Amino acid sequence: MVHRGYAYIGHMVSQGFSIVDVRDAKNPKAAGYVPAPPGTWNVHLQAHDDLLLVINARDLFADTRFADEKVYYTRSVADTVSDVQDRVWSAGLRVFDISTPDKPREIGFQPLNGIGIHRIWYVGGRWAYVSALLDGFSDYIFLTIDLADPRKPEVAGRWWLPGMHSAAGETPNWPEGKRYALHHAIISGDTAYASWRDGGLTLLDVSDHHQPQLISHRNWSPPFGGGTHTALPLPDRDLLVVLD
């Protein structure tokens, strides 16, 4: 994400995020690095309105059980890491003030119980939208985050595919070897276009941020492969582009 001539870069293979001065696009310069808490990765972030929102989640690729990457894509994350005893990572959403772009200042944190957040959608204003793996769920679900006070972000609403809320007694109704998990949602107006890996695509009405409601759900796996990653609404052309 680029803001006021500085790029903020999340990492898959290091625990933290980098700041790069790109005001001279032909001569980018390292401008800083903000380490994550131990055991935590910052794989995604969003910047707007002098705010930088950074996800916190367990560094899954540091876990040897994911050395075979196939494990990550063919079973729920909660099943793979269900025997974790010590919480040695930070899970939630960190908010930084970037009014001084090369000196991010943490001003807020929304802690979560579980693995943490994978992706976030934030384009300014009061609301952010994340995919998060909470205790009691099989994998990542949809959350709305209230940023009315960025110093005190709060979870407002949540939605998941039936079968994912294991703590409530729900059981998976999808084939073995498939992974139903929200990669992320992109929001246009009051609609969240949410991609659920092997679970396909949902359109959610988020006009009431405390109670997201299902508009429609389509899954093309089977007969086609799963791995729905990103749904990009193009409202001016009445198009929806889906990447698997």
Q: CATH code at 137?
A: 2.130.10.10
Range of the domain at 30: 2-243
Identify the band that residue 120 occupies on the pLDDT scale cut at 50, 70 and 90.
very high
Identify the band that residue 184 occupies on the pLDDT scale cut at 50, 70 and 90.
very high
DSSP letters spanning the chain: -EETTEEEEE-SSSSEEEEEE-SSTTS-EEEEEEEPPTTEE---EEEETTEEEEEEEE-GGGSGGGSSHHHHHHS-HHHHTTT--S--S--EEEEEE-SSTTS-EEEEEEE-SEEEEEEEE--SSSEEEEEEEETTSSS-EEEEEE-SSTTS-EEEEEE--TT--GGGT----S-TT--EEEEEEEEETTEEEEEEETT-EEEEE-SSTTS-EEEEEE--TTTS---B-EEEEEGGGTEEEEE-
> What mean pLDDT, rounded, does the chain reach?
94
Determine what percent of the chain is predicted with pLDDT higher than 70: 96
- In this structure, the chain runs to a length of 244
**Total domains present in the chain:** 1
Indicate if the pLDDT at residue 236 is higher than 70.
Answer: no
The pTM score is: 0.94
**Which pLDDT value is given to residue 163?**
97
pLDDT tens digit sequence for 78-104: 999 876 667 789 999 999 999 999 999
